[in-house]
Structure 1
Amino acid sequence: MAWLMAIVIIVMAAGLVATLIIGQSKSNKEADPRYSQNTGKKWLRLGGIYVVGMIIVAAIVIALNN
């Protein structure tokens, strides 16, 4: 069951990295110049959502494993 939890966490971490890469891409900034304004809170909130999601999934897998 640990392998399943590892796979889920890897997929969620990859999603976070992909989101950050897409959000910081040059084409994204060129399409909407306002996108880069006030991004600190947005990135912090989005990162928090991913972290909380990973913790919840890990807790569920651990609970089901016991």
Structure 2
Amino acid sequence: MQYYYSSKNPDSLGVIRVHAEKCRELPDVLTRIYLGIFPNSSLAISTAKEKLQLTKVRVCNCCVD
């Protein structure tokens, strides 16, 4: 189980990235949103889509299960 966060701001393609807590690309505390504790990134992405009401949500390349 890991803590997951999403960035508040989309990247250049309009995609919000989901990061695990130990990610080297984890956004600064002021520019991220806590999603919760999940056993994998798929559940974190589902939660982010629901919570943020967005469809363009992807896991960070560093955090792929």
TM band (smaller chain) = under 0.3
Larger RCO: 1 or 2 (CA < 8 Å, sep 6+): 1
TM-score normalised by the chain length of structure 2: 0.28
- The structure where helix makes up a greater share of residues is 1
Greater strand percent: which structure?
A: 2
What TM-score, normalized by structure 1, do the two folds share?
A: 0.27
